[in-house]
Structure 1
Amino acid sequence: MTRKLERNLLMAGSIWNAITALLTIFAYSPWFQKVGVDKLKQTNPDTMLVGTTMIDSVTKVVVTFGLFMFVGAIVNFVIAKNMKDHAIQYKIVIWIAAWGILQLVTMDVIGFVIFLITFVIYLAKNKAIKLSGVEI
């Protein structure tokens, strides 16, 4: 049984994660920092000092999250390229499930749906491979 559909869905998920990661790093992070600094300019100096530190910390977390998602996108791309036909790879099942749960936790609905569909199709084909007895 070929894994073409799963490969394509995993590639789509990888591309989606890369796009959202790059948007998070290069669009959301600077926007958050700019808006935060603009709001702090309207406060007193003590609040400005504490607020600036908080904005810098949150911005670092946002960039770190974006980098984490980008690395995950690269890992998904590599997994999709190395997925074997006619074989059950249990580590891939675990990875797709874990990454799908992470997508749900981070409220990335589109990513969650992509990885959920990939997970279900992968499991269904695993069942078919087991029943056919053609596992390589």
Structure 2
Amino acid sequence: MRRKAERRLLFVGATWNLITSLLTIFSYNTWFQAQGKVALEGAEAESLVMGASMLDNISKVIMTFGLFVFVGAIINFLIAVKLKDNTIQKTFLIWIGVWTAIQLASMDILGFVIYLLVFIIYIAKNKAIRLSANAD
């Protein structure tokens, strides 16, 4: 059984993750830092130091999350290329299940739906592969 639908959906999901990670790293992080600096302009010395430190820490979290999603997108591109037809790859199933949960936890609804579709289609085709193997 061919895994064409899973490959295409994985490419779509990986592309979506790539776009959102780059937007997070470059656009959102830059916007957040600029807004934080504007908010700290009229602050007293003590609050300025504490606010700048908090702004820096939150900016690092945003950057780390963006890089995490970027790496996940690259992994999904590689998995889509190496996905084998007519075989059941349990590690793929585990990865897609975990990545789907990560998409849900990060409130990326579009990513969640895409990867959930991949997960469901993969499980359905696994059942068909098992049935055809038992029939032979």
CA distance in 1, matches of 2:45, 2:76: 46
Give the equivalent residue in structure 2 for 1:130. Answer: 130
Give the equivalent residue in structure 1 for 2:57. Answer: 57
Give the equivalent residue in structure 1 for 2:92. Answer: 92
TM-score (norm 2): 0.97
Question: In the TM superposition, what is the alpha-carbon distance from 1:69 to its structure 2 partner?
Answer: 0.5
Question: In the TM superposition, what is the alpha-carbon distance from 1:43 to its structure 2 partner?
Answer: 1.8
- Structure 2 residue runs without a partner (length 5+): none
Question: Partner amino acid for 2:78?
Answer: V
CA distance in 2, matches of 1:115, 1:24: 20
CA distance in 1, matches of 2:42, 2:128: 64
Aligned length: 134
Question: In the TM superposition, what is the alpha-carbon distance from 1:59 to its structure 2 partner?
Answer: 0.3
Question: Partner amino acid for 1:84?
Answer: K
TM-score (norm 1): 0.97
Matched, 1:32 2:32: yes
CA distance in 1, matches of 2:83, 2:41: 53
Question: In the TM superposition, what is the alpha-carbon distance from 1:96 to its structure 2 partner?
Answer: 0.4
- Structure 1 residue runs without a partner (length 5+): none
Question: Partner amino acid for 1:61?
Answer: V
Identity fraction in percent: 52
Give the equivalent residue in structure 2 for 1:73. Answer: 73
Question: In the TM superposition, what is the alpha-carbon distance from 1:88 to its structure 2 partner?
Answer: 0.6
Give the equivalent residue in structure 1 for 2:112. Answer: 112
CA distance in 1, matches of 2:52, 2:30: 14
Question: In the TM superposition, what is the alpha-carbon distance from 1:42 to its structure 2 partner?
Answer: 2.2
CA distance in 2, matches of 1:55, 1:9: 37
Matched, 1:46 2:72: no
RMSD over aligned Cα atoms: 0.9
CA distance in 2, matches of 1:52, 1:111: 33
